Structure 1
Amino acid sequence: MTITSTSTRTGRFADSRPVRLAPLDILSLGLMGIRTRKVRAALSALGISIGIATLIVVTGIPASSRQALMSELSALGTDMLQTVPVRQDPPVLLPPESVDMAARIGPVTVASAVANTHAEVFRNDRAAAGDHTGLTVLASKLNLLQAINAEVGSGRFLSADTEKFPTAVLGSAAASRLGIPEITAGQPAPQIYIDRRWFTVVGTLEKTPLSPDIDRSVLVGWDAARGLRQFDGHPTVLYVKAEESQIEAVREVLPATINPELPGLVQVSRPTDALAAKRATENSFSAIFLGLAGVALLVGGIGVANTMVISVLERRREIGLRRALGANRGQIRGQFLTESVILSALGGIAGTLLGVLATVGYATHQGWQPVIPVTSVTAGFGGAVVIGMLAGVYPSVRAARLTPTEALATT
C-alpha cells in the first residue's frame, strides 16, 4: 500500500509539471495567430514592409544618383595629373625613361606621354611650304587614350602592330582642318603628308575636354616618329592617373621621380577642383543616408509595436483559455514574441523585394546604373527581425502577466 501510494503521489506530481514546448511547437503557435487573422497579419506585415522598402529606396536611389554623379565628376579628370618641363632658355627636357619611372609609383594606375616632333603636316605633297595647317604632330604612347579619358570617333587608335609604320590618328579639330571627318570601313584610308613622308590615317578621335591640345594634334606612333628629322625622343607632356585618395601624394613625389637631378624644373598640375567637389558630395550623401535610414526603421518599429499591443488586447480570451488549460507565462511570451518576429520577417522580405524593384525601376528610368547597397539589403531583413523582437517584448510580457480569470473576465 505504501509503495502504491508513493507511486500514485509521484505520478500526480509528474503530471502537474508544465509541458515544455519544442521550437517547432512555438513556431506553430506563432503562425497560428497569423493564419487565423490573415487580414490583420497582412496589414501588420505591410506596415513593416513599407518601412523597410523606404529604407532601401532612400539609400538605393541616392546611391544610384551618386554613382552617376561620381562618374561624371571622374570624367573631369579627378584622378589625372599633367607634367610638363618648366619653360626656360635653354629648354628643360624630360628624360626619355620618365614614363616608365612614373609608372613605378605605387598608386599610379596609368602613365602615358606625348612628344612634340616639331614636324609640319599638310593635306598632300602639293601644298606650298608656308601653307601648313597649324596642327601639331605628336608622338604618342599606345595607352594615351586611357590616360586622358579619350575615345575613338572612327577607325582605330595606334597599336603595337601599327606604331612602327607611318600611320596617324587625328584629333577632332585636326580631322576637320584636314578634311577627313571620319574613317569609313571598306574604303581606302586617306593619307596626309608629314615631314616629306606619307602617313596613312587609321582613325579619328572624339573631342577630349581634359586635353584640348590633343584635339588640334596629329598623333603618330613613338617608333614611327623616330624617323622624323627633329624628333629627339624626349616627352613633352606626361599624363599620370592615380588612385584618387593618393593623388596629392603622387603629385608631391612625381617631380623627383621622373627627373631626380632637376625636380624643381618639373611642373605638375594640381588636382582638378572636381576632386574636392566629389569628396564633398560623398560626405553629404553619407550623412543623408544615415538620417533617412534611421527614420524609416523607427517608423517600421513603431508600427509593429502598435500592432502587437492591439493584438494582445484583441486576444485576451485566447490568452485566458490557454492559461486555464495549463500554459505558463513563458509559453505565452514565446507565442507572442514569435508571432511578432515572424510578422516583421515577412514584412522585411516583402519590403526588401519592393525596395529593390522600386530602386532598379527608377534608376533605369533615369538612365542611371542601379546601385543597391548591400548594407541596406541586409539591414532590411536583419533590421526587420531585430525590430520585431524589440517591438514584441512589451506586448508578450503584457500578455504573459494576464491571469486566466483576468483575461476571461475582461472579454
Structure 2
Amino acid sequence: MSTDALGPGRLDAQRPAARLRPARLRPGDVVKVGAVGLRTRPLRAFLSALGIAIGIAAMVGVVGISSSSRADLDATLASLGTNLLKVSPGQTLTGEKAKLPLEAESMVARIAPVRSVSAVGLVEDAKVYRNRKIDQAETGGIAAYAARPGLREATGAKLASGTWLNDATGTYPAAVLGASAAERLGIGRATPNTQVLIGGREFTVIGILAPAPLAPELDKAALIGWPVAKSALGFDGHPTTVYTRSDDSAVEDVRAVLGATANPEQPNEVDVSRPSDALAARQATNKALTGMLLGLGAVSLLVGGVGVANTMVISVLERRSEIGLRRSLGATRGQIRTQFLAESLLLSALGGAGGALLGALVTGGYAVSQGWPAVIPAWAVAGGMAATLLIGAVAGLYPAVRASRLSPTEALATP
C-alpha cells in the first residue's frame, strides 16, 4: 500500500510527538506562585506569621530592652567615675613632698586613649576668709586652688549656683566655691556683690559647686583661674592633681603609663589612683546580659522555625491535588520545590518584619516609661530577619522536597 493511500493525517499520526519544554519561572513568577498558598489560606498564613512575629518580637524586645537598660546603667556607672584617674605628687626619696612637672598636664594629654585632661594646683599660703574681720586662725580648712576651665568636664562636678570659670574670668579676681566651702563661709548663692578674701585679695564669687563625689577635695576649695593665681597670688604653676578621663576598655592601660608620662624623670614620685570597682561590675554585667540575650534569641528563633515547618508540612498534605494538577500540566519537580520554598520564605519574611516592628515598638514604649534611652541595636533587627529567613528555608526544605516527589497520578488520586 502506498503512502498516498494513507493520507496526510495518517502520516502525521505516525511521526513522534515533539517534546515540550516546561516554561522557566522568573523571580517575579516565583513570588506570585509562592504567594498562592498565603492568598488562598489567609487566616492560616496570618496565624503562622503571627507565631513567627511573636518569636522575633520577643528577641528584638529582649535585646532592645536589655540594651536600653544597659545604656542607662552605663551612663549611671560613668557618672560614678569608672574611667576617672587622678595623678598627684607622691614623696621623694628623702620623704619630702614631691612636685609634678609644669608640663605634666600636657604630657598626659598625649596618651591616645585619654579623652579629657584637667588639673588643679594648690596655691600655698593663700588662706580663704569671708572678710577681713575674721580672725586669721579661723581658716575653716578651706584651701585655694588654681583651676583649669575643663575641670568640671573631667570631674563631673555640677554647679549649684552661678557660673563656672572660663578663659576670660580666669584672668580676673573671680572664684568658684566648693559646696562645703560655701557653707562654711555662709554663702548660699553666687551674686555679683558677693566677695571673699583669698590670699589677702578680694575675689568675687561667680559660682558655687554642688557636692562632687568623684573629687571630694573640691568641696572644701575656693577655685580661681590659673592666670590670676600666678599674677595675683604668686602661684608657681605646678599642678597638684591631674584628672583624666579615658576609654573604659583602656583604663588599666592608661593607668600603667600615667606615672611615667606625668613625670618621666621621677615616675616613682607620682601617685596614680585606682579605677573604680564599678568598672569591673559594669564589665561583668555586660557579659551576663550578652549571654542571656544569645540564649533567649536562640530559643525564639527555634520556636519560629518549628512553626514554619509545621505550617508547611500541613500545607503540602492539604494541597496534594494542586501539586498533582501542576505536575500534570508540565511543572517540574524543581518548580514544585521552588514554589513551596518561596512560600516558606515569604511566610518567614512577613513574620520577621512584623516581629521586628512589634519588638521595636515594645522597646521604645518600655524605655520611655522607665526614663531610659531607647536603644535598638541594628544587629538585632538585621540578625533576626536573616536568621528567620534561614530557618524558614530550612523548615520549608523537607516539605518542598516531599511535595516535589509526588507523582501526578498519586497526587491526583488523593481525595
TM-score range, shorter chain: over 0.9
Q: CA deviation at 1:19?
A: 2.3
Matched, 1:321 2:328: no
Aligned 1:231-380 pairs, distance under 5 A:
231-380=235-384
Aligned length: 406
Q: Deviations over 1:292-326 (max 9, x none)?
A: 11111111111111111111112122222222222
Q: Which secondary structure state, in structure 1, belongs to the residue aligned with residue 170 of structure 2?
A: coil
Quick one: which amino acid aligns to residue 393 of structure 1?
Answer: L
**Within the alignment, does 1:98 sit opposite 2:98 as a pair?**
no
Hey, what does 1:21 align to over in structure 2? 25
Structure 1: distance between partners of 2:333 and 2:97: 91
3-state SS of paired residue (1:138): strand
Aligned residue number for residue 219 of structure 2: 215
**Aligned mates of 1:177, 1:36 — CA distance in 2:** 82
- The range that moved more, 378-387 or 140-149, is 378-387
User: C-alpha displacement at 1:214, in angstroms?
Assistant: 0.7
2: CA distance, partners of 1:276 / 1:213 = 25
Regions of 4+ moved over 6 Å: 4-11
> Structure 1-normalised TM-score?
0.93
Paired residue type of 2:387? G
* SS, match of residue 369 in structure 1: coil
Give the counterpart letter for 1:168 in structure 2: A
State the one-letter code of the partner of 1:96: L
Residue 160 (structure 1) aligned to one of 164, 167, 172: 167
1:9/1:392 CA distance change after superposition, 3 Å: farther
**Which consecutive residues of structure 1, in runs of 5 or more, have no partner in the other structure?**
none
Instruction: Compute the displacement of 1:7 (Å).
Output: 8.6
Q: CA deviation at 1:10?
A: 8.2
Q: Letter of the 1:127 partner, please give it.
A: I
SS of match in other structure, 1:327:
coil
CA drift at 1:229 = 4.0
Name the structure 2 match of 1:148. Answer: 155
Contact 2:321-2:412 at 8 Å conserved across structures: yes
1:9 deviation in Å? 8.2
Report the residue type matching 2:77 in the other structure. L
* 2:37/2:343 contact within 8 Å kept: yes
- Shift, 1:161, TM fit: 0.9
Displacement, 1:133?
Answer: 2.9
- Give me the whole-angstrom Cα distance separating, in 2, the residues matched to 1:10 and 1:142: 100
Greater CA deviation, 397-406 or 209-218? Answer: 397-406
AA matched with 1:284:
A
8 Å Cα contact 1:117/1:228 also seen in 2: no
Q: What is the alpha-carbon distance in structure 2 between the residues aligned to residue 161 and residue 267 of structure 1?
A: 32
Q: What is the aligned-residue RMSD (CA, Å)? A: 2.1
Output one character per residue of 1:88-132: Cα deviation in whole Å (capped at 9) or x when no partner: 643211112111111112222112111111311111222222233
User: Does the CA contact (< 8 Å) of 1:52 and 1:351 recur in 2?
Assistant: yes
- 8 Å CA contact retained: 1:115, 1:140: yes
Secondary structure, aligned partner of 1:407:
helix
Contact 1:114 1:235 in 2 (8 A): yes
How much does 1:336 deviate?
Answer: 1.0
Residue 191 of structure 1 is matched in structure 2 by 195
C-alpha deviation, 1:210, in angstroms: 0.7
SS of the counterpart of 1:128?
coil
In the TM superposition, what are the counterparts of 1:57-96 in structure 2 within 5 Å? 57-87=61-91, 89-96=95-102
Report what 1:135 is aligned to: 142
Instruction: Look up the equivalent residue of 2:367 and give its one-letter code.
Output: A
Shift in alpha-carbon separation, 1:259–1:7, aligned structure 2, 3 A: farther
Aligned-partner Cα distance in 1 for 2:36–2:98: 85
| Cα deviations by residue, 1:254-300 (Å, 9 ceiling, x for unpaired) | 22222122111111112221121111112222211211111111111
Cα drift, residue 134 of structure 1: 2.2
Contact 1:169–1:219 (CA<8 Å) still a contact in 2?
yes
State the alpha-carbon separation in 2 of the partners of residues 21 and 230 from structure 1: 89
Percent identical residues = 50
2:178 to 166, 171, 179: 171
What SS class does the counterpart of residue 279 from structure 2 fall into? helix
AA aligned to 2:189 is E
Contact 2:192 2:205 (C-alpha < 8 Å) held by counterparts? no
- 8 Å CA contact 1:348, 1:380 repeated in 2: yes
Distance 2:23 2:258 in 1: 77
Structure-2 separation of matches of 1:400 and 1:138: 84
SS state of the match for residue 12, structure 1? coil
Unaligned runs of 5+ in 2: none
- State whether structure 2 residue 116 is matched by structure 1 residue 110: yes
What CA deviation, in whole Å up to 9, does each residue of 1:195-241 have, x standing for no partner?
Answer: 22111111111221111111111110011111344532211111122
